[in-house]
Every structure is written in structure tokens, then in C-alpha cells.
Chains A and B, each alone.
Chain A
Amino acid sequence: MSWILIAMLAVPLLGAAALLLPRFAGRVPRGYGLAVSGATLALAVVAAVGFDYGHAARMQFETDVSWIPGLALRFHLGVDGISLPLVVLTAVLTFLCFVHLAGRPPSRPRALVFTLLVLETGMIGTFLALDLLLFFVFFEVVLVPMYFVIAIWGGPGRRAAAVKFILYTLLGSAVLLLGVLVVWSQAGTLDMVALARGSGIARSAQIVAFLAIGAGLAVKAPMWPLHTWLPDAHTEAPTVGSVLLAGVLLKMGTYGFARIAIPILPEGAAALAPWLGAFAVIGIIYGSLACLAQRDLKRMIAYSSVGHMGFVLLGFATLTPVGVNAALFGNVAHGLITGLLFFVAGAVKDRYGTADMARLGGGMLGRLPYIGSLLTFACVASLGLPGLAGFWGEMLALFGAFRPAAELSRPLFLTFMVVGGLGTVLTAAYFLRMLSRVTHGRPAASEGPPGGLGDVTAYELAAWVPLVVLTVLFGLWPKALLAITTPAVQAMLPGVGT
């Protein structure tokens, strides 16, 4: 069954390549992107079904072919408990993006479908790659398409935001490459599975490598001081761009921690975990405070991502199975919820013509009841209400911080936990303040839904309902996800039993 992973990469790539044919020069059939991403989603579901949950810690559907012997780069793909949820999440989000696009065909559809399909290949590839260099290549394949999505279909200040996005992320991935090369020069191999079993790298080299790889990944999953590209990118990106940027691209950074930084460089991780935890917690508070004072809706959601990713990074910083579980769960939950948030924010921006909360006025529940209630649902899910997916990631992260790994200082992580707890209150504060400013209050004088568009359209509903259902499903039944990641995480962190 190992062909399935190659197929998952090949389908979007060939779909994109086919678009270059002259046959599509005139007009791209509306369902084209939908069909290709639908096929990829089908493959992802087949892989999920065919996955042997009994041995979630083992790599399955592996393909290991040598690509460039000179660089010791092997085309090594595989999926296990850690990467499977993220692959399926990517396929789902991309498919929903195309459903959303079917509802509102964009300008230059052919180029956009091409860019999104290449983006999907890069994203899925990153989660499947098991060779450090291959991971790096896919990690960078995503940059150019996302740059063009922001630079061509973005908002007014799109060009500057796109340039800042690609330069900042490239600096991150260049530093990541240095880290990978340090690991390579010390351990002699690039195979993540072998390295995870025991890299035998000296402690000082591990610290340097973890610093480099950690910095590269921290830029992508915006850790506090390296996050300033995110708000600009999100404010200017089109709805589809924002959803994929927040839904998947941020996860590539945090997934890197789970797959590369922690298993391969345990001593490096132990040495730098307090710093990672400190920056993560600062990120939570900083993101929440920044959201409290934001005026633009999409910019506020971007800063909220900084906050949520703070929880995920805190989960990683604890170096305990429950912490890493929390981080992986938080990844998937954040992808679903923030994806929904950006979809709704995009719909609001389409209808009101602006995302500035002051100019949105109030009373959205009066004028657009369905969009208003979906926005409320998304905000409630995002602030971590138990019973919805957002809660388990944060709660388990705090629980992990309650008792971190043996070599980490307990009082320090207790303070992180307390500050994280306050962060959840601040998160609730800014979301509810936004809701009361935007959805509550008396609707403005002009009656009827603004922007000519009615309340939610059928396509939008089709794009959003799966996210709502998944959020509720993972909220009420977290075992669905935790059962997959726990064995893999347990295998990764053998040291700590409970």
C-alpha cells in the first residue's frame, strides 16, 4: 500500500502540471481544482482507513528510494501516528478551500488553482518526508506559491506583506538547513527514523543543532519574537490564502519540533526547553494582549494564532508524552478552528467590504444571523471551551507543564502553567469583546445584508459545516485523535513513563 503516499503527492502535482497545457489556456473548468483536491482527499481518507492503528508508532506505507546519492538525499516517505492527522487535515482544508472558491470564482482562476495545488503538494510532502533534506525541500516548496497567493490575490498592501513573508520564512528555513547540516555532519545520516532511534551526537553539537533547527521552525510556527510576518501576511492574504496559511503552514513549523527537534536532539531539547517554554508563554500573553487592542478582524485572528501556537510550543517545551500529545492535538484543533475563523472573517470582509471592527459597526447577528452565529461558534471554539476541540490542546498542555520532564525545573514550568492559565482568560476576553463589538448591538440603519450577498451561501456552508462537525467531534471525543498520537509519542519519549 506504499503507493498511496506517492499518489497523494503525485495527484496534486500532476493536476497542477496539467493546467499548464494549452488546452486550459482559455478557461479552467470550474470543478477542476475541486476534482483534484477531492481525489487527494480521497487518497488521504483511504490512507487513514488503511492505517494500522494498532501500531501507530511504526512508520507505515514507507517508500525509500535514493534520489541524489551525492547529497545522500533519499526520497523517503512514511506516515505514523504523529503525521497522519496532519496529512488528513491538509487534504481536508485544501478541499474546503476549493469548495469555497467554487462559490466565489476569483480573478485569474487558472493561476490560483495551479498555485494552490502546488501548495498542497508542498504541504503534504512536508508531513510525509522522513529524510531531513527532503523535509527541508518540501518545507521550502511551500514558500513561492504562498508568496504568489498573497502577492497577486491579496489586499491593498499585499506586495510588502508577501515580500516580508517570503524573506522572513526563508531566513528561518536557511537557519533550519544549517541545523540539519550540523546533524548530518555529526550523525552521518539524514534518515529521521534512524536518527530518532539514536543519533549519538555530542551534547554541545545537539544544542547548536537544536538552536538552529528550533529557530527555523519557530519562525514558521510563529514563536513570540519571530512572529511579525504573520499579522501582515494574514491581513493581506485572500481568504483561501489565510485559511491555508493558518490552517497548515503554521503546523509545518510545530510538526518539525515533534518530528525532528525533539526525537533527534533530546539533550539539545532538554537544554533549551526552558527557553522554548518561556518564549511560548510570552507568546500566549503577548498574542492575547495584542488581540485585545486590534482593530482589524483578520489581524486579530492572526495574533490569536500566535497565542494558540504558544500553547502548542509550551506543550512541546514540557518534553512529556502528555505535553507532546497536547501539542499535536492543539495543532489539528487550531487548524480546524482558525480555518473556520478565517473563512467567516473572509465572508464578513466580502460582505462589508472591510474587516475594520469600528467600521463593521455592530448587530451582525441582526443583519447576517447565520454568519454571526458561525462567527460566535468559531470564537467560542477558539477560546478553548471544553466540549469543542480547542480545549483539549490547551488543557493537556497546561497539564504537561504542571509536571514537566524530570530534567526540567518544576517551579519554572509551574509559573508557565499559571501564566498560560491567565492566557486562557485573556483569550476569552478578546474573543468575547470582539463578539460583543461585532455581532451584538443594534444593526446599522441600512437594513438587509450588505454587499449585495445574502446571508451565508450554499458553497460557503458546504465549506464550513465539515469544519464545525470536526471541531465538535474532536471536542466531544478526543480519544479519536489521542489514541493515534499517544503510542507514537510514547515511543518518541521513552524516558518519561507517565
Chain B
Amino acid sequence: MIQSIDYVAIAAPLILALVAGAVLLLDAFLPRRTPGVLGLVTLAGVVAAFGVVVAQAVGGGERRTFCVPASLGGGGCSFVVDGFTLVLSGLLLGAGAVVVLLSMGELADRRIPAGEWYFLLLCALAGAVLLPAARDLATLVVALEVVSLPVFALTALKRYDGRASEAALKLFLVSVVSTAIMLFGISLLYGLTGTLYLERLSAALSSTAPGASGAVSVAVVLVLAGFAFKVAAVPFHFWAGDVYQGAPVPVAALLSVVSKAAGFAGLILILTTGLPGQAAVWGPVVAVVAALTMTAGNVLALRQRAALRLLAWSSVAQSGYILAPLAVIGGRAVSASVAYLVIYAAMNLGAFAVVMLVSRTAPRNELDDYRGLASQRPGTAVALGFFLVCLAGLPPGLAGLFAKVVVFREIVAGGLGWLAVVMAVNTVIGLYYYIAWTAQLFTPGPAGVSRTRSVPVMVAVGVAVLVTLAFCVAPQLVLSASG
């Protein structure tokens, strides 16, 4: 018998997949000279998907599809669209739109094949939007892979750039190994519980024999490995610096926001939906990993001289801050993580957009290239300063400040005092390199450099500034949505 599919529920990833196919066909038939059109088509696709997500959000209510029929025991559904899914889909699609804008800027100088680029980008976005809606391990794994594989390809797409291919290889290697580890964990979990559906997983786990608790813990840890890699948590953070520097800037943006958000979505799903019973196991682990991640990220970023590497380690540190609320027993603090994630996405993308702009004139992308930017490009410099201060969590970057306050509140209310103190110290270490970079912007530097205008990237910066300012003035939008 045919399983009924609720096409409205799966509309968003479906649209993305279709547009991806369309882009590939268009690339084949359109004359070589018009890469811009493909960008616009991709952008239209992403915006359409975003529209669908917004419509579903306005419509409200939960949509479930691909469920196990009652005759076979009922229970789990593979694809559920609820509040959590919609917020994350909205975030991913918004970030995707900005990445597309950045890509337009990147592809302008034709060294990268536009068709393949946009196709891969859309595939990654489709996988990313699918992931938050997945409610069983198989879909989760597939969605994770659909997000990861295109990104490796995107990184390696610059054919004649040795560093890009080296970065791609490193990313590929580490990702594949962690996926293997995760799959092994999933297989153990399947063995222990007999089901792949997250809802039924926790019920099954609580009824397993006490003797197997050791195995359950190991299985849980191994399963978390895959997502920890995407989020670049501590044992899995080594690749961040090299890959961000090697990859093209839009891919680095994609990695730092879209794939990280997808990773967090998977992590949250597994921890809160799949393994609420085992909170005593993964609570402390996540807390320790969060503390290590933020510290390692901040400390490594201290002595960076390359802009992208600094942003890499800064995003590792930020994912430490996002991980922290997840450690609170009882999963009440998930909304804080999601809120921080959304605000972080806006700030980080803005920073990447400006770095993209400057990297067009100074490919080496050293911090010294930003010296005296305020005198040459006041608008861009103020924007970057604003984003960095937001990332640091200092007013006038109110968005960053409120995000941190939300996270601090959940940690303190959850009783993790030591983690709060570690985070406070980390905010200070983090402030050091953010403020140092901001100071570089405003110290008097060399005279005006040629200004290469790139409209899509300027638009991306504008969008990021507007969204971040909105979050500064009314963070209530994010808090109520993720609440």
C-alpha cells in the first residue's frame, strides 16, 4: 500500500531540490555568458522556500508525514514540522539566501563553474532544511550527509587552488571518520532499542536491562560524535582553522552558519527528543565539551593574524556558548540555544560578508589589511565594527549582549554555576581579539585603496546589518519564536 505523503509539510526541501535540478538543466542550456541568471534563480528558489516556511509558521499547528501505519505497530513519524523545525528552517533559509548573495560576488570572476556551484549549494540547503524535520535516525543520517557532501565539493570547486583542495580533503577526511563513528553509535543504539524512531527510542531505552547501561552510554557518546563534528565541538574542532582559511569565503560562511545550525538541530533533536531519559549521561558531557569548546576557540583565536582563521576560531567559541544551555538537565534551556543560534547567525554572516568585501581587494586577508578601513570605507568599517562588538556581546552590539544574557540566565537558573563563570571568563578573552580587530579598523591607516564595488555582497552586508539591528532593538522576535 502506498504511504500517504503530506506534500505541504515537505514543501520547503522539495522546492529546493526541484530548483537545484532546474539550475543544473538551465546551466546546461543557457549560453556561457550569463552566470548571474543562475544566481537569481537560486535566490528565487531559496526565497520561495522561505515563503513556504513562513506560511507554515503563520498557519501554525504541527504537520506529520511518513508515519508508520497503525497496522505495523504505529508510533514514529519520520518527518514532523513543528515550531522548532520552522524556526531552524527559517534560519537556514535566511542564511542560505545571504550565502547565495555572497556566492554571486565570488562567482563574478568566473574561475568557478556557476552551475555546479549553485546546484551543490541548493542541495546542501535542501539537506539542511530536511534535518530539523527528521524524527528518525535514518533520515537524520541521510540529511546530515546531504548537507555535508555538497560542502566538500563546494570547497574543492576552485580547481586550480591547491589550498582549496587541501582544505576539502581535510574536511572530507574528518567528516567521513566522524560520520562512521556516528553510524557505529546508531547501530549500537538500534541494537539496544530495536527502533530507529526518536520518540520510541527513549521509551525503549528506559526499559533496557540495567547491565547494558555502559553500552547505552557508549552508544550515546558515539552518536553525538557526528553532530559534534558539524558543530566543531572540542575533540572535533581541529579542522576549523585550516578549512575556513582554505575554502572560498561563501563556503566558509556556509560552514560557519548553515552546517553548524544543521549540526545543532540534529544534536538538539537527539538529545531532547531521542534521549531525554539519559540526561544524566549526556548532561555533564555536553557541559564539559561546551566549556572546552569555548575556551579552546577563544584561546586559539587570541593570536590569529588572518581574518578568516580568526573568524573560524571565533565561530568555534560561539558554538561553545550555544552548546552550554543544552547541558542544563531537563532540556528547558533549548530555546536559549536556538535564540543564541539565530542571533549568532545574523552577526556571523554579516562579519563574513564584510570579510568577503575586503578579501576582494586584499586576497591575503590579514588583519593588517583592515587597518584604517574606517577612513577608506566608513560604512563597511562601521558595519564590521558593529558585528564584532555584537559577537563580543558588548553594547552597542545589544543583540550579542541579549543573546549572552539569555544563555547566562539559563545556565545560572540550571544550577551550572561553574560553567557560567567559565563562560564569563571566555567572554573577556573573546572580547580581546574582537576589540583588537575593531581598534585596527579605526586606527589611522594607509590612504584610500581602489574600491571594487560588488552589489550582491553589499546587499548581503545590508541585509545582515538590518537583521542584526532588528535583533538589537527587539530580540523579543527571536525569544518568542524559539520559546
Contacts and interface: CB of A to CB of B under 8 A. Distances in A.
A414 interface: no
A70 interface: yes
B403 to A, nearest CB: 10
B394 A175 contact: no
B476 A69 contact: yes
A175 B424 contact: yes
A73 B405 CA distance: 11
A178 B396 CA distance: 20
Interface stretch (A46-54, A142-150, A334-342, A475-483): A142-150
A71 interface: yes
A429 interface: no
Given A70-B476, A141-B395, A171 B401 contact: no
Nearest to B421: A178
Contacts of B483: 70
Contacts of A185: 409, 412-413
Contacts of B425: 171, 174
Contacts of A138: 395
B172 interface: no
A147 B480 CA distance: 34
Most buried by A among B406, B413, B428, B432: B428
Interface centre among B389, B424, B442, B479, by most chain A C-beta atoms within 10 angstroms, is: B424
Given A151-B439, A167-B428, A175-B424, A133 B394 contact: no
A141 B389 CA distance: 11
Contacts of B445: none
Contacts of B436: 163
Interface in B319-348: 339
A260 B398 CA distance: 22
Interface string B425-453: 10110011001100100110000000000
A279 interface: no
A71 B409 contact: yes
A171 B475 CA distance: 24
A184 B408 CA distance: 11
B476 A182 contact: no
A386 B430 CA distance: 48
A175 B412 CA distance: 12
A133 to B, nearest CB: 7
Interface residues of B, number: 35
Contacts of B480: 69-70
Interface string A374-400: 000000000000000000000000000
A306 to B, nearest CB: 22
Contact of B435 (A73, A118, A140, A166): A166
A178 B408 contact: yes
Interface in A48-81: 68-71, 73
Contacts of A148: 439, 442
A136 B424 CA distance: 14
A412 to B, nearest CB: 30
A152 interface: yes
A129 interface: no
Contacts of A171: 424-425, 428
Contact of B442 (A133, A152, A181, A184): A152
Contacts of A177: 405, 408, 424
Given A167-B428, A184-B409, A68 B396 contact: no
B118 interface: no
Contacts of A136: 405
Interface in A90-142: 111, 118, 122, 133, 136-138, 140-141
A163 B392 CA distance: 14
Nearest to A208: B417
Contacts of A181: 405, 408-409, 412-413, 420
B421 A71 contact: no
Nearest to B415: A185
B79 interface: no
B422 to A, nearest CB: 11
A163 B435 contact: yes
Interface string B224-235: 000000000000
B402 interface: yes
Contact of A170 (B394, B409, B420, B475): B394
A212 to B, nearest CB: 9
A171 B425 CA distance: 7
A203 B478 CA distance: 35
Most buried by B among A111, A136, A171, A177: A177
Nearest to A20: B382
A485 to B, nearest CB: 29
Contacts of A143: 394-395
A159 interface: yes
Nearest to A141: B395
B408 A141 contact: no
Interface string B356-398: 0000000000000000000000000000000001000011101
Which of B395, B406, B474, B478 counts the most chain A CB atoms within 10 A? B395
Interface of B: 339, 389, 394-396, 398, 401-402, 405-406, 408-409, 412-413, 417, 420-421, 424-425, 427-428, 431-432, 435-436, 439, 442-443, 474-476, 478-480, 483
14 contacts: A68-B476, A69-B476, A69-B479, A70-B478, A71-B406, A73-B402, A111-B442, A136-B405, A147-B439, A163-B435, A163-B436, A171-B428, A177-B424, A184-B412
List the 5 closest A-B pairs by CB distance, nearest first. Answer: A70-B479, A174-B424, A181-B412, A141-B395, A185-B413
Given A69-B479, A185-B409, 12 more contacts: A68-B402, A70-B478, A70-B479, A140-B394, A141-B396, A143-B394, A144-B394, A181-B408, A181-B409, A181-B413, A185-B412, A185-B413
